[in-house]
Amino acid sequence: MKTLKEVKVGQTATVTRLCGEGAVKRRIMDMGITRGTEIFIRKVAPLGDPMELRVRGYELSIRKADAEMIEVD
């Protein structure tokens, strides 16, 4: 499976699975990233971290470490 970290700028991906456990997984879900959610990659910082996403109509920045825990289609 491909992770959100591997998706290129300007592409849209659909969440298929959330890896991780406990508080980390709960924090990701609280940000609105759940199974079936479409995520648009707006931009990535010059050094690669963080990534700016559009999720459910709002902009969100996440670290690449968190993006590795999100499997997408």
| Contact indicator for 61, 2 with CB cutoff of 8 Å | no
Query: C-alpha angle with apex 56: 69 to 66, nearest 5 degrees?
Result: 15
Report pTM: 0.87
pLDDT band with cut points at 50, 70 and 90 for residue 3: very high
Q: State which residues form the domain around 49.
A: 2-72
The pLDDT, as a whole number, for residue 17 is: 93
Judge whether 32 and 70 are in contact, CB under 8 Å: no
CATH of the domain at 36: 2.30.30.90
How many distinct structural domains can be found in the chain?
A: 1
Q: Look up residue 68 and give its DSSP letter.
A: T
Mind listing the pLDDT tens digit for each residue in 14-60?
A: 999 999 888 989 999 999 999 999 999 999 998 878 999 999 999 99
